[in-house]
Structure 1
């Protein structure tokens, strides 16, 4: 098995900047960006110390699968995917909001509802819902895109009032968000899954609004298994999820939730291999394709060559 890619550090001709996120290394050029999906893994807003082999390839290829499948309804930033871990595309100016859309009462929305709140981002929620129930219709619950710290819920009205996005652009973001969620939900149903909630990010390339970042990956979306969903709801049982929730659960069981004073548990080779295998299973279930591991003999040179040939 590959050892995984923890960090990359190249300097390319014409490169004007570099950005390292929790998972991705981004090489910035005048009008283009090259995004390397590393094998870093984060949970509870903390990057864990060891990489997970093939995780970056899994996320990059799932994102490319869905970006390609939705390009006919929403234009996106991608121009080429020249390597299993690399996507190259247009350098956009991001909108300072993330468009979260929810079809079910789960996660953050459920926690707010459980505390008695019946309004989320200015949208009223009906009484009598249980965790993981379907909402009457999908709702858009935007968050601010924070440069530091946590993103925060924000209403459509506040976004417009604060001038974060102008009204005509925001109307287009909403339209694109609903179209993407509808297509993503259809594709999930075809694979025996329910797309519960997800987020989309958008940016401008000149005057054109483009979909940016990843979409419909297990890091950015929540999926339930369709089979048995109704029975589990009737019986008040937890839903079977297809997401990276299993990583969070392992950390919780070993005394870590990202809180002050807690130590990240030791990730043994067996744990790392198990997480890697689970990500590969996610890829195959979501896309319906067989996973083909990338050549891991000289990953750094392979990625460098792919970017050099396509910038």
Structure 2
């Protein structure tokens, strides 16, 4: 079975190409982006050697469904989804912050809290919380959008004081973030899930703010299963998560956390298939739809032909 490990197309009027950890992004006429979501998988800031069949399709289609379900809240960058693994959209100038919103004390915020900190990104947190507890209300904990290295926490005050985003735009980003999170929470609840935390990225084109990148995917969001949440909290046990945490856990169990000198464990065909199956399960749980496996024979030709057809219509 073929998987999209890397692409190297030369599209008509192509003006740039960027290869990210997971996405191959082609710029057309300096106006449009063709985003090919590959089947590469990364963890601990390392791209693992084996691609995962259907992973790109899963992420791209969850994002497409989620962006369609929220376009009444904020316009988004998408023009067309010509292939299960490809999105074509307008180029926007990205804001140099990621809008992270948290409804629960989990992940990075929980680790900070455990160190005794009662403030994250300038937002005060109450005493007496346990990991994975629901917060009194969702909090926005932005991070800088680093071009190199890791993103870093930043407060609203610092964003405005440093002129990273104008006050008018930032207030609008906050409104959009809260409304998107509310919609995502409602959709998750319909699937018996809890949207724990998520991130949104925004950009500007022709003076208008657009939602960009993927949203509400297992790579950009953390979900808990609603069923059993209260019982696990009362017992102080870890929550059952719907995210790619299972991949990180397998790597840790096999002695890899992305540190110097550590070797990525061998992913045999059985392990690759099990990860692929798990991503398909994530798709079906998050969207409530059955996953349709696209034909993976001649996958590179399929992607190229679908993109070429779509570009003619721009």
Q: Tell me the alpha carbon deviations over residues 194-233 of structure 1, each in whole angstroms, 9 at most, x when there is no partner.
A: 0000000000011010000000000000000000100100
Question: Per-residue deviation at 1:306?
Answer: 1.3
Equivalent residue runs for 1:208-247 within 5 Å: 208-247=208-247
Equivalent residue runs for 1:145-164 within 5 Å: 145-164=145-164
Q: Give me the whole-angstrom Cα distance separating, in 2, the residues matched to 1:13 and 1:190.
A: 43
Question: Per-residue deviation at 1:308?
Answer: 1.1
Name the counterpart of 1:189.
Answer: 189
Q: Tell me the alpha carbon deviations over residues 240-273 of structure 1, each in whole angstroms, 9 at most, x when there is no partner.
A: 0000000000000000001111110000100000
- Corresponding residue SS for 2:14: coil
Name the counterpart of 1:41.
Answer: 41
Question: Per-residue deviation at 1:74?
Answer: 1.1
Please give the TM-score of this superposition, normalised by the length of structure 1: 0.99
Q: How many residues were matched structurally?
A: 310
Verify: 1:249 aligned to 2:249, yes or no: yes
Question: Per-residue deviation at 1:3?
Answer: 2.4
- Corresponding residue SS for 2:183: helix
Name the counterpart of 2:59.
Answer: 59
Verify: 1:21 aligned to 2:20, yes or no: yes
- Corresponding residue SS for 2:265: coil
Q: Give me the whole-angstrom Cα distance separating, in 2, the residues matched to 1:246 and 1:264.
A: 15
Question: Per-residue deviation at 1:108?
Answer: 0.2
Q: Give me the whole-angstrom Cα distance separating, in 2, the residues matched to 1:280 and 1:68.
A: 20
Equivalent residue runs for 1:57-206 within 5 Å: 57-206=57-206
Question: Per-residue deviation at 1:276?
Answer: 0.2
Please give the TM-score of this superposition, normalised by the length of structure 2: 0.98
- Corresponding residue SS for 1:249: helix
Question: Per-residue deviation at 1:73?
Answer: 1.0
Name the counterpart of 2:4.
Answer: 5
Question: Per-residue deviation at 1:8?
Answer: 0.5
Q: Assess if the C-alpha contact under 8 Å between 2:3 and 2:39 holds in 1.
A: yes
Q: Give me the whole-angstrom Cα distance separating, in 2, the residues matched to 1:149 and 1:57.
A: 27
Q: Give me the whole-angstrom Cα distance separating, in 2, the residues matched to 1:184 and 1:214.
A: 13
Q: Assess if the C-alpha contact under 8 Å between 2:2 and 2:299 holds in 1.
A: no
Q: Tell me the alpha carbon deviations over residues 81-115 of structure 1, each in whole angstroms, 9 at most, x when there is no partner.
A: 01000100111110000000000000000000000
Q: Give me the whole-angstrom Cα distance separating, in 2, the residues matched to 1:166 and 1:20.
A: 30
- Corresponding residue SS for 1:16: strand
Q: Which runs of 5+ in 2 are unaligned?
A: none
